[in-house]
Structures are given as C-alpha cells and as structure tokens.
Amino acid sequence: MHFETLAIHDGQAPDPQTGSVTVPIFQTSTFERDDLEHRREFFYSRIGNPTRSALESTIALLENGRYGLAFASGVAATMAALHVVNPGEHIVAGNDIYGGSYRIFEQLLRPWGVTTSYAASESTESYAECITPKTKLIWIETPSNPLLQLSDIRALAALCKERGIVLAVDNTFSSPYFQRPLDLGANIVVHSTTKYLGGHSDVIGGAVVTSNPGLHTTIKNYQGAAGAIPAPWDCWLILRGLKTLKIRMKEHEASALQIAKFLQQHPAVKEVFYPGLPSHPQHELAKEQMSGFGGMVTFALKGGLPAVEQLIARIKLFVLADSLGGVESLISSPAKMTLWALSKEVRERRKCTDDLVRLSIGLENAEDLEADLLNALAG
C-alpha cells in the first residue's frame, strides 16, 4: 500500500468493541488480570497501552521497520537507542547534530564510560577515520541540524556492516515520507515525534524503529525499565498528525524551496543551506536517498549577529521559537537558541556561526512568508 494509506489505516483499525474509527484513548494506568497465573496483553501502562501500541505499529510501518517504540520526548528516544552501547565502548557521531544529542554524548554518556568522537557529517571517510576497535555505534543526522548537511546512509551502512557496528539515524528533519533509512541499510531510526510527525506544535514525543530483534529487545527493555513513555493522549495526538503527514510534508517542501531560492538571490544573504538547491554540495546525494528535501532552511547573513538581531526584531509572520515541523513558520538563531549551551569554541568548530538563521517553513502561503522576510531584511 501507499504511504498515505498506511498512515491512515494500518495499525489503526476501528475499535472492535465500539466501532470508533479513531483509536480510543485508553486513559488508564493499569488493567485487570484474569487470575494469578494469567495476564492479558496489556497489564500496566508503563509496559504497554493500546493507544501507544497503535502509534508504535504505525510509525514502524511508515519507516518500513518491524518494531516501533514510543517515548516521552525525542531525547528520551535518543537515550533509549544509545543504550545498545555499553560502558567502555565508543560512538562516532556527526559534528553537526542537535544540541540535545550532543549534551547526551558529553554530559550523560561520557561520565558513564561511553566516549564519542565527532566526524565531518558529510564525509564517509571522516566517519571511517574515527572508528576504533571499541566503536559500537555510528550516530548520524541527515539532513543535519542546523547546517542541513547530508550523510551518505547507504555508504555508512556498508561500512558499519563490514565493521560490525550499529548505524543509527535521526530522521526527524526528513520524516519517513521523504527518507527511509532502514531501506538504505541503517539499523535504528530515531524521531522526535514532537516535530513533523505530530505536526501541530501541541505535543512532545519520540520514537525508535528497528527491524533487528536483538536491538528491539534491548531498547524495549530500557523503555519499560526507565519509563520515559508518552501518555495515551500524547500518543493519540501524534496518531492524528500522522494521518496528514504526506500532504503537510509536500507543502512544507514546496514553500521551503521557494523561500530558499528567494534568499539565495537576496543581497543581504551570504549563503543558503537547503538540499533542494542545485548549489547545495550534496544535492545529488539528496536526490538519491531522499524523495523530497524537507521544510528546513538555514542561511547566513552578511552582517553577522547584528543583522540576525535586526531580522528577528522586524519579522512578523515567523514566530521566534525553538522546535520545528509545525503548521506555523518558526525562526531561530542556532547560536543563541538551539545550541546556546555549547561553548563558542565548540560552536565554531561545528561551523555554527553567529550569522546563521534557521527557518522551519510552515503551511502559510509562501508568498506571504517571502514578503515577511523581504520586509525584515530591508536595510
């Protein structure tokens, strides 16, 4: 079946008891047991809940994976996926990654005895050079945050298979509509379902998908033991968002491409980062491993931080806020917002300079968004 059909039907059959066409919200902490010797499929909501199970099944299907697991946030999902690594082992991560993931690597895992090296996100050779005999996992974001660099999933999957390493991909920026890392050889896919999968800026959540039974068992055991699970209502909201994922992603992409082309021609703009532009150094790779280019656009201003501050002060339609992937367009300064906790030295090493602006293109009319940016960039 096609993607949009799976998003609406599979894993979400009408309720057999009432005929409800939407999955009910099972707002319960516990379930009755038959007797001391037998229990039903669901017995305690930290371990499993029918609403959460529907969400997990649907996300797994959309990623073309066997097993889906839902979490209370994107970083909870990240932490769960990283628990396939043990103390004394090593991770290689891209150097352009979400600040929350970087904090997990440095503030949580390193004191625990798991070390991380950082490779150039766009270079398979750089990842290979960082591998040691203790490397257990390679972690990539593609496209990356905030520079929208691409990692070659298929090439890295081949490298990992050869070395006996797990490949985990944060697929939040693309969504499973535009990219399916498991089909390209990855072992684990992670999402912040807060973003495009939820799609309405009204819920926090995360998900992990894999087709490997051993990895699934390890991550599911962590899910039950650590307990960072989403509430039934949150699961229902994300299920609702998934039903419109295809049409939203197509609109996000169309407007993002228009905005990226506009910015590329503006005299105040130094550089535009968007995989859908032919000028993007990995545009051909984007066409190979993605079916669309997404709704995120990052650009650098010639005037540096003062120009960024002026732009943000003058913007009207774009909301100054963290996060991304909702129906409303958002604007942020990566250096001052999403990566603020990193030292200036670390940010500069990652090429996250003060002149960067990150846009999450929403579902407003693209001409209105372009006019807003034109006015804000004036002068």
Q: What is the pLDDT along the chain (379 residues), one digit of tens a residue?
A: 887 888 877 667 777 878 888 899 999 999 999 888 888 889 899 999 999 999 999 999 999 999 999 999 999 999 999 999 999 999 999 999 998 999 999 999 999 999 999 999 999 999 999 999 999 999 999 999 999 999 999 999 999 999 999 999 999 999 999 999 999 999 999 999 999 999 999 999 999 999 999 999 999 999 999 999 999 999 999 999 999 999 999 999 999 999 999 999 999 999 999 999 999 999 999 999 999 999 999 999 999 999 999 999 999 999 999 999 999 999 999 988 877 767 777 777 778 889 999 999 999 999 999 999 999 999 6
- Measured distance between the N- and C-terminal CA atoms of the chain, rounded to whole angstroms: 51
Closest Cα to residue 357, out of 370, 373, 379, 369? 373
Hey, what are 355's tokens? 């002149």
Q: Which of 216, 242, 268 delimits the end of a domain? A: 242
23 and 109 share a domain?
A: yes
145 and 238 share a domain?
A: yes
98 is catalytic: yes
250 and 238 share a domain?
A: no
Task: Name the active-site residue from 98, 196, 222, 274.
Answer: 98
272 and 130 share a domain?
A: no
Q: Cα 215–219–56 angle (5° rounding)?
A: 100
46 is catalytic: yes
CA dist 340 and 106 (Å) reads 15
CA dist 22 and 235 (Å) reads 12
35 and 159 share a domain?
A: yes
CATH number at residue 278: 3.90.1150.10
**Beta-bridge partners for 68:** 209
Task: Name the active-site residue from 102, 118, 152, 170.
Answer: 170
7 and 135 share a domain?
A: yes
Task: Name the active-site residue from 195, 220, 347, 358.
Answer: 195
Q: Which of 226, 242, 258 delimits the end of a domain? A: 242
Alpha helix positions (H), 113-152: 124-130
| Overall domain count for the chain | 2
Domain extent for 72? 3-242
CATH number at residue 131: 3.40.640.10
235 and 250 share a domain?
A: no
Number of Cβ within 10 Å of residue 69's Cβ equals 24
Count Cβ neighbours within 10 Å for each residue of 125-163 and write b for 16 or more, e otherwise. ebbbebbeeebbbbbbbbbbbbbbbbbbbbbbbebbeee
Question: Parallel, antiparallel, or unpaired: how do β-strands 356-360 and 296-301 relate?
Answer: antiparallel
Contact status, residue 79 vs residue 208, Cβ threshold 8 Å: no
Task: Name the active-site residue from 46, 66, 314, 336.
Answer: 46
